[in-house]
Structure 1
């Protein structure tokens, strides 16, 4: 048997969602004064509003944009934007991984939009976004959570374009700069880059998005969870802490703790720097490892959060397809058994491979310690000992 590496990660949490808690987190550090209180109490609403205000500060969201806490995680927030704003004109939905394809299915099978164009690309690539007409509404995913491919820029979105842009940014915010001037509805969940808990999403609306909501009523029924208007106007109370349904105040306090932690480091720039440093460790290792390749072949498209890789080489290519798919599963399972690394197998619908989360809540040393263990497990598997 080849020698095992000497050091294990101190925090072996490499899942791409929910992600690793920030360093120093413990449940005892959460402010629990809002627990057992109504979320509609003065104190409860103040805490919800504080979470919104901290989000605005850390992300640099313009003052005239609205930020609301939504049910159903990023999925609920994104679908709310689609169901309330699409259908007023031509639309394009672009996808290059699993979740983007869900938004395509929403547009095609549920909303059944007229004058709809869909664009797709293989895992690790993105479609020709520059070909999207500027009059079209567009739905896109800033960072492919399951493919490791992100948009390199927003040059394909013209300033003052007629269509609205709906941006699923759930594994991008707090790790990549958002071009707010070109974004009308942006969504994310707390369970991604901030290491928060699931079930709550954020919906950020530009003045143009608000104008669309107030001037347009879709032809389909809207469930209560998607109703953003009171009469003909946007219900601004939703964006001041009065949530549509009951949130978990424990989860809210957890998110607030993570925001305050990020602020103490230096805010958004510090979080982006941490993600960049973490991702560089992994991408440099992939480049130096002959039996791996980055799922995103173009360096300009490579993410700094969920870095995805697939296997290559003579030994791997000689395996039957079923055995190829088993390689990353066996490596991930063995290292979980040894408490070295949890949940870094690739996404179930993606090509077989590994996916290591590199967002700012992880420590670089833990990532660096994981990689020799993957090499060890691969050699053990190749030798028939795993």
Structure 2
């Protein structure tokens, strides 16, 4: 017997209503999230939403992960507000190429220092992902003054609503913190309260931090003391090495042995040799260029220099026997970097000098 207070005629009706409510909520979260606002900005920059055509759930999820990682490196916006140079999502295949449009996709992006990204401009070494400019028809064109909300709607349509909803749910994408605070304050501030008048005056321009303070005031809570706090920093070398590993594992396995070799050198010395201190501006540029499509041999001078320093003073750097063995193996490294000949030499020398079996499953990548 049905209850007189029942809202739905049956279970199917109830589930349908729940699914529709979920769809509306997730689309709202997407439309008002910083992530989809960034997608819209990139589409306008590329002058077309076709840079997202053919995206799978895996593609969109991977893109969000890279975006979120860049936000983390930037202290979630606090680095920029502190006047520090932030990291940016740098394209491998440029957005505004002569005949191509670079995609805003994880396999075409490198989290890189802003200065290097800006100076790189529209150069393209190799790799990445793009579409032909000839493919961009007038109906897919976006002007630089395009409405952001409308662009987001076009992006959701071209990716597919089901794909977007799945990623919004799996990545727990939420509206921008500032947007949520503004909505809350609009609902709770009182126009008849003289103390609230000053808040209405800055509601549209104040930062999320200021708005959060106003919310606490309206709630009758004490203001948070932020004195002495500073955002957590990520240095350029640490970020680029992490990107080296991310891109190598996901898209370019050819560059992994090189980073493994660097890590092995670092681990085989005392704490006085750390990569974040040993890689200078020239080395940073080498890594940046390699991640943007140059061959792995680009970083050969960098690895040679770090290895030479590690072996330069036994008392200071305390290189392990395994590291000394590596140094003995790569003495003829002037012949090339990670060539098949050099790899063959390394495999033949490693068991004799270190006792490692080069064909075992647990041999480090630098030895292969």
Query: TM-score if structure 1 supplies the norm length?
Result: 0.28
Structure with more relative contact order (C-alpha pairs < 8 Å, separation 6 or more): 1
Query: TM-score if structure 2 supplies the norm length?
Result: 0.28
More helix by share: 2
